[in-house]
Chain A
């Protein structure tokens, strides 16, 4: 089994910290908050191998309401912010110096307007050519990213009947998933001759879907819900996804799920590590493995799941709003969490 050990505590937000996002290419972590700001931290390994975090910059953002979500482009050069003021901010740093790592001025390149009410989530596609956003206005927008911070709206998807809480792109294909207050998950692709369209609706959750995470190779999707369950959906066919597993994971609403390759002891058939967190204040790590191939068992057998680590009260008495695995090589066992206490915390999963 494993232990969740504390690496760093990063206070600074004056209000609830909603989300944290790791820069995929540079050692920078960002967090956003109801205080309308984004905070940036750089990190490095000290000689004894421990990680050290430094606050390098705060972007006041200019959003007039809560900054609910943040996302880095795959290049790590651009940061998108989604706010309750219904807008999306696109941020870049002028003249990135090699040793600056996020310090210095972050410039607002553009503001994407279009949503009628709170924007709740933003996400870049794996190639960085597309940005998705969603809102309480029940819509999902797909934006094409052009040079010079120019964005073109390719489609407004009005499939959900209630607020859309989250959007997440498949790790390698241009498939978009959205989770909603209407308890469903929708999957979308681009039809080359038509527009973006919804090709599947995944039902099973009994309440709001708060968060989505694709497995590292993209053959599974995990969803976290107010019904206190995490569901795992498997790609049965190109456009067919089926519910294969439901885990009663937490005692209160699950606000966040994150999936990474992790550091499983045996790499054989491993689907990596899934981290979950929510209103009960705990963070849990699950190891998932492909089902053994047994004659006669349907190919939609659920993956094996094992709870390998539990951290109660990760943010004291407060809710945990986001859990996020570091996507960078060599840090597959490092997690960031944000809480209602306004703090961002860094954790490492270590074998006992």
Chain B
């Protein structure tokens, strides 16, 4: 595991107020992994919007800080765009030399893979100009073979699971 801390002193922002809206309803349809009888999922299209995708990823922990990606402003709702079944998620590494960027991206990808109905194709990019190895990071995160192989690496998978451990709280405070 890397011992170097890429951004020892990140700026932490307080999370936005959780959107009260339909989240209860959507939480149910999205929590459970794919519904078991989903043969005709296209007939039964759930509405997934920008806020919903943001809710899914906002509470992922940063790999090197006890803060969520939302608190570090790595992800935000306006950085999510949806065009039919294609979702594009942009994220902003905290520092341009952030060696954790591919790991953060991997966490976002895994979270969305596990939560979204599989009709969605997700493309993941770092914010243009925010990272010195922008092209390399983007390429790796969108290569499904590399992602699949990474998830068969037990050490890496364990790290991802750690970052995702409270992702389900969707912006809510951790329960005491």
A contacts, CB < 8 Å to B: 16, 34, 65-66, 68, 84, 117-118, 120, 136, 163, 165, 181, 207-208, 226, 252, 279, 317-319, 340
Contact = CB atoms under 8 A, between A and B. Distances in A.
A34 B119 contact: no
B119 A317 contact: yes
Nearest to A84: B149
B65 interface: no
Interface string B87-131: 000000000000000000000000000000011010000000000
Contacts of A136: 146, 149
* Residue in B41, B143, B145, B152 with the greatest tally of chain A CB atoms within 10 Å: B145
Contact of A16 (B121, B143, B146, B148): B148
A207 B135 CA distance: 11
Given A208-B139, A208-B143, A317 B152 contact: no
Interface of B: 41-42, 85, 118-119, 121, 139, 142-146, 148-149, 152
Given A279-B121, A318-B118, A181 B143 contact: yes
Contacts of B121: 252, 279
Contacts of B146: 136, 163
A66 B148 contact: yes
A257 B139 CA distance: 21
A250 to B, nearest CB: 12
6 contacts: A34-B148, A136-B146, A181-B139, A181-B143, A226-B142, A317-B42
A36 to B, nearest CB: 10
Contacts of A208: 139, 143
Contacts of A16: 148
A79 to B, nearest CB: 21
B149 A118 contact: yes
Given A317-B85, A317-B119, A66 B139 contact: no
B145 A120 contact: yes
A317 B119 CA distance: 5
A303 B19 CA distance: 57
Q: Which 7 pairs from chain A and chain B are nearest by CB?
A: A317-B119, A65-B152, A118-B149, A84-B149, A84-B152, A317-B118, A66-B152
A226 B143 CA distance: 9
Nearest to A65: B152
A226 B145 CA distance: 12
A319 B148 CA distance: 14
Given A66-B152, A165-B145, 9 more contacts: A34-B148, A65-B152, A84-B149, A117-B149, A136-B149, A181-B139, A279-B121, A317-B85, A319-B144
Contacts of B145: 68, 120, 165
Nearest to A34: B148
A83 to B, nearest CB: 10
Contacts of A68: 145
* Residue in B85, B139, B149 with the greatest tally of chain A CB atoms within 10 Å: B149
A165 B41 CA distance: 33
Contacts of B42: 317
B41 A317 contact: yes
Contacts of A118: 149
Nearest to A319: B144
Nearest to B143: A208
Nearest to B144: A319
A338 B82 CA distance: 27
Contacts of B41: 317
A226 B144 CA distance: 11
Contacts of A181: 139, 143
Contacts of A163: 146
* Residue in A317, A318, A340 with the greatest tally of chain B CB atoms within 10 Å: A317
Nearest to A136: B149
Contact of B149 (A66, A252, A340): A66
A340 B121 CA distance: 12
A207 B123 CA distance: 15
Contacts of A226: 142-143
A81 B41 CA distance: 34
B58 to A, nearest CB: 26
A130 to B, nearest CB: 25
* Residue in B119, B139, B152 with the greatest tally of chain A CB atoms within 10 Å: B152
B128 to A, nearest CB: 17
Contacts of B144: 279, 319
A318 B118 CA distance: 7
Contacts of A279: 121, 144
A207 B144 CA distance: 14
Contacts of B119: 317
Nearest to A313: B42
Contacts of A66: 148-149, 152
Nearest to A341: B118
B139 A207 contact: yes
